[in-house]
Structure formats: structure tokens, C-alpha cells
Amino acid sequence: MPGTSIRSLLAACSLAAQTSAAVIDLPIWFRNSYAVVQVAIGTPPKSHLLRFDTGSATTWVVDEVCETECANYSRYPRNGYNASASSTAGSLGIYGSIEYLGGDTAGPGVSWAQTAADGFFGLAFTSIAEAGTATVVETMMRQGMLDEPRFGIYYATEFNDTGGPGTVWRTRIASMTGSTTWANGTKEETTVGFEGWSWSVFDTGAGSISVPENQVDAIYASIGMDYREILDGHRIPLCSEFNSSWSVSFNFSDDDEGRVITLTGDQLARPGFAEREDACWPPFDGGNQDGFFLIGTPLLHQFYSVWDFGAEEVQNYQPRIGFGALKPEFRGIRS
Ligand SMILES: *[C@@H]1O[C@H](CO)[C@@H](O)[C@H](O)[C@H]1NC(C)=O
Ligand SMILES: *[C@@H]1O[C@H](CO)[C@@H](O)[C@H](O)[C@H]1NC(C)=O
Ligand SMILES: *[C@@H]1O[C@H](CO)[C@@H](O)[C@H](O)[C@H]1NC(C)=O
Ligand SMILES: *[C@@H]1O[C@H](CO)[C@@H](O)[C@H](O)[C@H]1NC(C)=O
Ligand SMILES: *[C@@H]1O[C@H](CO)[C@@H](O)[C@H](O)[C@H]1NC(C)=O
Ligand SMILES: *[C@@H]1O[C@H](CO)[C@@H](O)[C@H](O)[C@H]1NC(C)=O
């Protein structure tokens, strides 16, 4: 993000000052299909729209200079944070730059000029936050502002613009099972097991599900698709093929008790592949890191998720992510 100056606002976090409740609700808005939450920052509070991201840990907003000077093709105005206009602003003396692409946890591909937000709201762990800062959620936990050390996320069906000792959230993944039902009614299940320490990182900033390159062919084969044919352009998956006759289950497990999440073909349909409305994006990407799965919005949009630190003190963290079925009115959405 050349030319973007970033100010850490964590010292001046006044998120909770406006509310006495121990449960804080931040409605999710969509702008240019980016999910953002509205957060009031400063004294007097000024409203900012921040893109929330469980794959990064720093919360930042553009400053008053960037408000007018930074590239902006987003069709939306940006609201800069003017530290001199807030009586509670304090400088940490830190100047940071954040790399969202690359690194161990593939983050969101950010084209800042297109992003219709004022900044980022990092929901990962303080251990990967900019040096010397703590995440907003963990700061609030420390200050006793939350009744439980966790947050929940659900996405509504409305994808219109609504003018209105961890490091990242991850879990072991033991296997994936593809299930297909043939025209003659025969059901076939194929399990692809992942040896050793395979991890999945849950990232609201990722728009796809990535699986290790060396597993991707077997995973496609388990749902009756040929990944190479798609890559080579010999086959374009049609959205009409994404139906409930097939499904894929993820076995997220750190012990013998597997925790399995199943997505059916229709839930994985994302139209717009090859610039065609009747073609759907291949459900998984091949990632170049062995043993690393990135679970983004195609799965997260289908569930109510609870992101639980397990304790308020870092040394006692036992991070868990829980998934619950969405109420019927929120189901069947496409990203
Ligand atoms: C960003 O672009 C939109 C649309 O072109 C415009 O309305 C808005 O004022 C711009 N914001 C800034 C800060 O330039
Ligand atoms: C920032 O706030 C200060 C103090 O209120 C004000 O003098 C200044 O004009 C503001 N800057 C911008 C760009 O709004
Ligand atoms: C969302 O978009 C649809 C289709 O354009 C429209 O019918 C609906 O009213 C919109 N909803 C809101 C809340 O704007
Ligand atoms: C059903 O169809 C599949 C695929 O064509 C085939 O492999 C399988 O043997 C068939 N099963 C029966 C019971 O006919
Ligand atoms: C699902 O799609 C396949 C391939 O297009 C088709 O053969 C099958 O009949 C469909 N099944 C259902 C339940 O719609
Ligand atoms: C999930 O994986 C674990 C091994 O880590 C295994 O014990 C469990 O049976 C699996 N569950 C399912 C439903 O496949």
C-alpha cells in the first residue's frame, strides 16, 4: 500500500465507551462486496467502516491526509481518522507497514484503491499484530469490557450494499471426504487423508478455499471433477452441476473426536467463472504450501461462527471456533 499512512488506533480504542453492554453487536455491511463493520473511534466518536479480517491482527484506519490523497476507485468516500481532533488520541510512537500478501498465512488480496473501507479490523491474535500493539478484541477483554472472551460472526443473505497461544484462527484438519450420488442412486464416498500436521486457517479475508497443491487433484477426484481439465481450460464447471447430489466434508480434528463440517455442491456455487454467469468458480484452489489449508468465505458464509479465545489471559488461551447452522432465512447465500 504505497503512499498509505497508517496509524495505530489501539491506544485510543474507545469502542466500548459508547455502550455499557457486555455484548457488542456490529452489523455487517457490504460495500463492493467487501464485508465491513461500522466502528466509532475517538472522542468525540467518529464513525469508520473497517473491513474485518480474522487473518490479520492489526486494526488500522487511514488518516485525514489519506482521506483525500490516497487512490480511491471505490465509488465511496473514505473517512480518515484525525488524531488531533480526538481528545483521547495517544501516540504509541510506532510506525508500521503491513504486508497482506504472502507470508505464512495467506491473507486477503488487497487492492486498496478498490476497497470501500476506511481501514482494517484485525481479529487474529496479538502475537502477529504490529509490534507493540494489541488487538481491539484482546484489549477489550483485558479491560473487562466483554462478558465472554469470544466473538461471533454471521453473514446475512443481503449482499447488496447496505448504506447503512495462537497467532491465527486455525485448527488441525485430518481429512476431506467427497461424496457423490450417481444417476442410478449409488452413493460413493472417497476420503482423502492428510498425514502429519495439516492445519487449516480460518480467514474472513479470503474469498476462496485453498488446499495444498499436492492434495488438490485427489480432492477434486473425490467429487467427480478433474482439476487439471479445468485449469487447462478444457472444462468449464457449470453452476447447474453444483447441486446437492454431491458434497464435501471437512474433518477438523485435534483428537479422535472428529468435528465434521459438510458443504453440499449448491452451497459451493460461486457464479462468474470465466466471466460467465452460468459458470461457477472451481470450489477449491491449489495452494503452494504443504499441509496448509485456507478456509475463507465460501465456507464461513454458510455458518454462524463463534470465535472463542477460551480465556482472557494470553497464557491460558484455548482458541476454538464453533460453527452453527444458520437460521433458514440466512441460508443458501452466494458470495
Ligand atoms: C472516493 O471516490 C468516490 C467516488 O468517486 C467519491 O465520491 C469520494 O468522494 C472519493 N473519496 C475521496 C476521499 O476522494
Ligand atoms: C484535524 O483536526 C484538527 C483539530 O480539530 C483540525 O484543525 C484540522 O483541520 C483537521 N484536519 C482535517 C484534514 O480535517
Ligand atoms: C437488494 O437488491 C435487490 C435486487 O437488486 C433489490 O430487489 C432489493 O430491494 C435490495 N435490497 C436492499 C435492502 O436494498
Ligand atoms: C451406478 O453408476 C456408477 C457410475 O456410472 C457405476 O460405477 C455403478 O456400478 C452403478 N451401480 C449400480 C448398482 O448400477
Ligand atoms: C445434479 O447435477 C448433475 C450433473 O449436472 C445431474 O446429472 C443430476 O441429475 C443433478 N442432481 C440433482 C439432485 O439435481
Ligand atoms: C476424523 O478424523 C479423526 C482422526 O483425526 C478420526 O478419528 C475420526 O474418526 C474422523 N471422523 C470422521 C467422521 O471421519
Nearest ligand to the C-alpha atom of residue 160: 3
Q: Which residue owns the Cα nearest ligand 3 atom 11?
A: 160
Does 175 lie in the same domain as 61? no
pLDDT at 169 over 90: no
pLDDT at 214 over 80: yes
Query: What is the reported pLDDT for 148?
Result: 84
Write down which residue in 112, 147, 182 finishes a domain. 147
Q: Is the CB of 184 under 6 A from ligand 4?
A: yes
Query: What is the reported pLDDT for 152?
Result: 82
Over range 270-283, report the average pLDDT: 93
Minimum-distance ligand 1 atom for the alpha carbon of 73: 2
CA 72 to ligand 5 center in whole angstroms: 44
Query: What is the reported pLDDT for 58?
Result: 84
For residue range 112-151, what is the model confidence (pLDDT) as tens digits?
666 778 888 888 888 877 767 788 888 888 888 888 888 8
Mean pLDDT score across all residues of the chain: 78
Does 271 lie in the same domain as 223? yes
Report if residue 278 sits inside a domain. Answer: yes
Greater confidence, 262 or 43? 262
- Give the separation between CA 94 and CA 222, rounded to whole angstroms: 49
Assign 3-state DSSP to the chain and report helix, strand, coil percentages, each to 5.
20, 30, 50
For residue range 317-331, what is the model confidence (pLDDT) as tens digits?
777 788 887 776 665
What is the number of structural domains in the chain?
2
Query: What is the reported pLDDT for 124?
Result: 85
Report if residue 54 sits inside a domain. Answer: yes
Over range 283-307, report the average pLDDT: 88
Over range 285-310, report the average pLDDT: 87
Q: Which residue owns the Cα nearest ligand 5 atom 12?
A: 245
Does 181 lie in the same domain as 269? yes
Over range 297-304, report the average pLDDT: 89
Does 169 lie in the same domain as 129? no
Q: Which residue owns the Cα nearest ligand 4 atom 5?
A: 182
Write down which residue in 101, 117, 147 finishes a domain. 147
Does 218 lie in the same domain as 140? no
Confidence band of 10 (pLDDT split at 50, 70, 90): very low
Does 200 lie in the same domain as 130? no
Domain that holds residue 39: 28-147
Report if residue 19 sits inside a domain. Answer: no
Q: Which of 178-187, 264-273, 283-292 has the lowest mean pLDDT?
A: 283-292
Q: Which residue owns the Cα nearest ligand 3 atom 10?
A: 160
Does 174 lie in the same domain as 135? no
Query: Which CATH number covers residue 59?
Result: 2.40.70.10
CA 35 to ligand 2 center in whole angstroms: 29
Report if residue 73 sits inside a domain. Answer: yes
- Give the separation between CA 261 and CA 177, rounded to whole angstroms: 10
Report if residue 180 sits inside a domain. Answer: yes
Does 194 lie in the same domain as 116? no
Over range 60-65, report the average pLDDT: 86
Q: Are 42 and 14 in contact (CB under 8 A)?
A: yes
Greater confidence, 83 or 197? 83
DSSP assignment of 106-140, as one string? Answer: ------GGG--SSEEEE-S-GGGSSTT---HHHHH
Q: Is the CB of 82 under 6 A from ligand 2?
A: yes
Minimum-distance ligand 4 atom for the alpha carbon of 182: 2
Report if residue 262 sits inside a domain. Answer: yes
Does 196 lie in the same domain as 86? no
Minimum-distance ligand 3 atom for the alpha carbon of 159: 1
Does 252 lie in the same domain as 175? yes
Minimum-distance ligand 2 atom for the alpha carbon of 68: 13
Q: Which residue owns the Cα nearest ligand 3 atom 3?
A: 160
Write down which residue in 99, 114, 147 finishes a domain. 147
CA 183 to ligand 4 center in whole angstroms: 8
The residue with cell 472444462 is 235
Report if residue 220 sits inside a domain. Answer: yes
Q: Is the CB of 22 under 6 A from ligand 2?
A: no
pLDDT at 4 over 60: no
Report if residue 156 sits inside a domain. Answer: no
Q: Are 137 and 10 in contact (CB under 8 A)?
A: no
Does 295 lie in the same domain as 204? yes
For residue range 228-250, what is the model confidence (pLDDT) as tens digits?
999 999 999 999 999 999 999 99
For residue range 17-45, what is the model confidence (pLDDT) as tens digits?
344 446 677 777 767 667 788 888 888 88
Greater confidence, 94 or 231? 231
Helix (H, G, I), strand (E, B) or coil at 291: coil
